[in-house]
């Protein structure tokens, strides 16, 4: 077993913040050398964050943007002006990603924020803002697969949350579901459990490069995200109306974009997921539709037809719990593997 690697049996003891920090420092000593880890459950957590901000020379206006994270108990990872970084999370307030398993949710949150820090491209210094979220999400699930504490179905739970966040709220920054699906489908047949910590970082960055929703060109998903959104001059629409209108917009995208495109994949994933499940839930908001309604059944049939053999949502890959497939032998297999991309 690789140094600093936690076994699945060890994870059953529950999430321990100090242990998670020790493991992170052991696996990524250089990347975390100047990192301050703050347990948001500590009574002086806000003071620790303020002291870090002062030490790193953050301006008052910058602090005004950071302070609400501590007040609202939201996890964060930041870089300062003097080379330091900070990771803060709140173990007493786990995310609802894994219902009934707060320890698994806490570990995912920790690994996500750690991913921002250990990747040189994970702290917002990349051209596309959502690249950093692709790095962090891919890193978090790859680290979980490496240690054996996450399964394929867990990754799909994370992806479903990202889709729901997009449909019920707004913005494509956290729409990382295609990158997560690619990890499940595993087109390059990578043995995730054999990866070194550094290889986990590099693979997460490759996934981010392949699947970021780039702002370099026009992306219709940005327009979808604006539907029903609250603005300075408009209170916006309620969750139910906002999400339903967005589904209709996603339907238009599915019927007019190339079935081989990333745009089609993302739109089809969100749309078919909502229809098959009769809606979506994100945090305290729930959106419901009549999945048996002839309109939505017709949409589902048409989109599925257009998708052809494409494994939308990694549903075929989920039929087997195995992370890899039997490896082909020989020089031709090696060449094929070398030139197989991450695309799905």
Count of domains forming the chain: 2
Q: What's the sign of the alpha-carbon dihedral 329, 335, 338, 344? A: negative
290 and 340 both lie in a single domain: yes
DSSP 96: S
Is 66 inside any structural domain?
yes
Query: Is 63 a member of any domain?
Result: yes
Question: Domain range spanning residue 27?
Answer: 17-93
Together in a domain, 73 and 213: no
Chain centre distance of CA 92: 21
- The tokens describing 171, both together, are 């913005």
Is 109 in the same domain as 202? yes
- Give every CB contact of residue 226 below 8 A, 6+ residues apart in sequence: 170
The C-alpha atoms of residue 71 and residue 252 are separated, in whole angstroms, by 41
Domain end among 68, 93, 118: 93
- My answer on whether 253 and 281 are in the same domain is yes
Contact between residue 177 and residue 162 where contact means Cβ atoms under 8 Å apart: yes
> Are residues 298 and 342 part of one domain?
yes
Cα distances from 74 to residues 5, 87, 140, 201, 323, in angstroms, run: 27, 11, 17, 24, 32
Distance CA 121, CA 132 (A): 7
Give the CB-side neighbour count of residue 313, counting CA atoms within 13 A. Answer: 21
Do 248 and 201 lie in one domain? The reply is yes
Cα distance between residue 216 and residue 194, in whole Å? 35
Q: Is the dihedral of CA 173, 178, 181, 186 positive or negative?
A: negative
65 and 119, same domain (yes or no): no
Q: Which of 31, 63, 93 is the last residue of a domain?
A: 93
- With residue 86 as reference, give the H or E element that holds it: strand 85-89
Dist. CA 317–CA 319, nearest whole Å:
5
For every residue of 284-329, DSSP letters joined together read TEEEE--TT-HHHHHHHHHHHHHHTT--GGGTTGGGS--SS-PPP-
The first and second tokens of residue 48, run together, are 């620790």
H and E: helices and strands count for the chain: 14, 5
C-alpha to C-alpha distance for 89 and 56, rounded to whole angstroms: 19
- Asked whether residue 209 falls in the same domain as residue 325, the answer is yes
- For 68, list phi and psi in degrees, rounded to 5: -60, -25
The answer to whether residues 208 and 190 touch, using CB atoms and an 8 Å cutoff, is: no
Distance, in Å, from the CA atom of 229 to the CA atom of 242, rounded to the nearest integer, reads 8
List the chain pLDDT tens, one digit each, 344 residues. Answer: 444 455 444 445 689 999 999 999 999 999 999 999 999 999 999 999 999 999 999 999 999 999 999 999 999 999 999 999 999 999 999 998 998 899 999 999 999 999 999 997 657 554 456 889 999 999 999 999 999 999 999 999 999 999 999 999 877 889 999 999 999 999 999 999 999 999 999 999 999 999 988 655 578 999 999 999 888 788 889 999 999 999 999 999 999 999 999 999 999 999 999 999 999 999 889 999 999 999 999 999 999 999 999 999 999 999 999 999 887 766 665 666 666 788 89
Is residue 203 domain-shared with residue 323, that is, in the same domain? yes
pTM of whole model > 0.75? yes
Burial letters 104-118, b for 16+ CB under 10 A, else e:
bbbbbbbbbbbbbbb
Same domain, 249 and 293: yes
């Amino acid at each position: 077993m690789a140094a600093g690697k936690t076994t699945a049996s060890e994870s059953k003891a529950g999430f321990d913040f100090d242990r998670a920090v020790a493991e992170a420092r052991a696996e990524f000593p250089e990347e975390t050398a100047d990192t301050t880890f703050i347990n948001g459950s500590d009574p002086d957590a806000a003071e620790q964050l303020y002291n870090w901000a002062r030490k790193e020379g953050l301006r008052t206006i910058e602090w005004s943007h950071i302070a609400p994270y501590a007040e609202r108990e939201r996890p964060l990872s930041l870089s300062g002006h003097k080379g330091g970084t900070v990771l803060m999370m709140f173990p007493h307030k786990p995310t609802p990603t894994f219902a009934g398993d707060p320890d698994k949710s806490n570990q995912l949150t920790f690994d996500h924020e750690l991913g921002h820090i250990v990747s040189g491209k994970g702290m917002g210094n990349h051209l596309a803002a959502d690249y950093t979220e692709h790095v962090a999400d891919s890193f978090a699930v790859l680290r979980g697969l490496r240690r054996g504490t996450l399964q394929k179905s867990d990754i799909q739970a994370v992806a479903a949350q990202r889709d729901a966040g997009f449909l019920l709220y707004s913005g494509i920054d956290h729409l990382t579901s295609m990158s997560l699906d690619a990890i499940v489908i595993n087109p390059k047949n990578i043995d995730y459990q054999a990866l070194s910590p550094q290889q986990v970082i590099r693979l997460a960055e490759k996934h981010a490069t392949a699947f970021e929703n780039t702002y370099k060109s026009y992306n219709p998903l940005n327009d979808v995200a604006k539907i029903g959104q609250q603005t300075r001059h408009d209170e916006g629409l309620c969750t139910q109306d906002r999400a339903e209108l967005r589904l209709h917009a996603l339907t238009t995208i599915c019927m007019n974009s190339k079935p081989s495109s990333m745009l089609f994949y993302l739109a089809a994933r969100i749309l078919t997921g909502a229809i098959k499940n009769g809606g979506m839930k994100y945090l305290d908001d729930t959106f419901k539709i009549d999945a048996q309604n002839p309109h939505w059944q017709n949409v589902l049939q048409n989109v599925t037809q257009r998708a052809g053999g494409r494994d939308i949502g990694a549903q075929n890959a989920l039929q087997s719990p195995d992370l890899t497939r039997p490896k082909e032998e020989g020089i031709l297999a090696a060449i094929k593997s070398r030139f197989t991309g991450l695309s799905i």
